Structure 1
Amino acid sequence: MHITVITATDSQIPQPLHGKNLARLARECFANHQILTIDFKGVRTITQGFCRELFFPLITEFGADFLKSKLMVINLNDANEKLMQSAFKNLDDYFDKLSEVNHQGCDEEVFDMNQTWLIKAREIARENPVLTELVLGITDDAMRTALGHLSLEDIQFIARSNWLCFTPRFSSQFLMNINKEQPPIVEAMLGLTGSIC
């Protein structure tokens, strides 16, 4: 995929909001296993805020090695390249603040469970949407699509809510009779119906 910044943003001086929008397009591209080229042709100047909103969340979510192989930046003039390098000098501060916000006023165990569940749900929704119903019990197509488009920032925001993001797929009666049921029957019921009554 090839994105020309000046066309996508309709601006010669892209702002932080434009960076956030381009990061969303990048996620869609990566979810479809495509290499992304971001073309800065005609862009007069960029802001550090634009760079932070575009690149920092992608680095957090996908890692630097992934981006080196899947993301190309072309036609960056010397002044813009210096601005981008300056923005990247603040990367440690960004990670420190993100880590601090992630654990502020939040039950650590609930946060870990939510984050793990949401990351796995996003992975399943991206790779094989049919399995979201079988493995996770999610039958709503809109929910499957939304899960597949979550960013790491979205996941961490939801995970910090102090409310579990998932509900049991079994009834209280099933729990009371758990020793009477054989494991293969339980697995079959979950797999076929998505719940146990």
Structure 2
Amino acid sequence: MHIAVITATESQIPQPVHGKNLARLARECFANQQILTIDFKDVKTITQGFFQELFFPLITEFGADYLKSKLIVINLSDTNKIQMQSAFKNLDDYFDKLSAINHQGCDEEIYTMNQTWLIKAREIARENPVLTELVQGITDDAMRTALGHLSLEDIQFIARSNWLCFTPRFSSQFLMNINKEQPPIVEAMLGLTGSIC
């Protein structure tokens, strides 16, 4: 996929919101296993926030090695290269903003559990939807599809809800009889039925 920044943003000076929008397009591209080329032709000036909102979430979500293999940047002027390097050096404001978002009164343990579960659910849904049912008990096809399309921002938004995003796959009777069951039987029952009654 090829994205011309000047066309996609319709702006002579792309702003942070444009970087965030391009990051969403990049996620869709990566979800389809496509290489993405971001073309800065005719872009005279870019804000530091644009680079931060475009690249930092993608690095966090996919990792630098993955981006090196899937993301190509072309026609970046010397001035904009300096601006990009400056954006990578001036991280305090960016991380302060993220920190403020992450501490809006949500329970850190619930946030961590939700985020971990949602990231794993998205990963499995993208790679092998059948395993989404077996491993996580998600039997609804629409839910599996929706999970596979979540962005990191979506996941963080849901994770901060202060409500757990998943329910146990076993009954109270199972918990009361936990010592009577052997682990291999438990694993087999969960794998075959998706729940333990």
TM-score (norm 1): 0.83
DSSP 3-state at the match of 1:38: strand
Give how far 1:124 is off: 1.1
Give how far 1:23 is off: 0.4
Identity %: 89
CA contact (8 A) 1:39 1:74 kept: yes
Q: In the alignment, what sits opposite 1:170?
A: 170
Change (3 A) 1:91 1:70: farther
Q: In the alignment, what sits opposite 1:125?
A: 125
TM-score (norm 2): 0.83
DSSP 3-state at the match of 2:30: helix
Letter in 1 for 2:85: Q
Letter in 2 for 1:27: R
Q: In the alignment, what sits opposite 1:159?
A: 159
DSSP 3-state at the match of 2:167: coil
CA distance in 2: counterparts of 1:190 and 1:120, whole angstroms: 18
Give how far 1:4 is off: 1.8
CA distance in 1: counterparts of 2:122 and 2:14, whole angstroms: 30
CA contact (8 A) 1:51 1:84 kept: yes
Task: Mark the runs of 5 or more structure 2 residues left unpaired by the alignment.
Answer: none
Matched, 1:6 2:6: yes
Runs of 4+ in 1 over 4 A off after TM superposition: none
Q: In the alignment, what sits opposite 1:137?
A: 137
DSSP 3-state at the match of 2:110: helix
Matched, 1:20 2:20: yes
Give how far 1:51 is off: 2.0
Aligned-residue Cα RMSD (Å) equals 2.4
Give how far 1:10 is off: 3.6
DSSP 3-state at the match of 1:139: coil
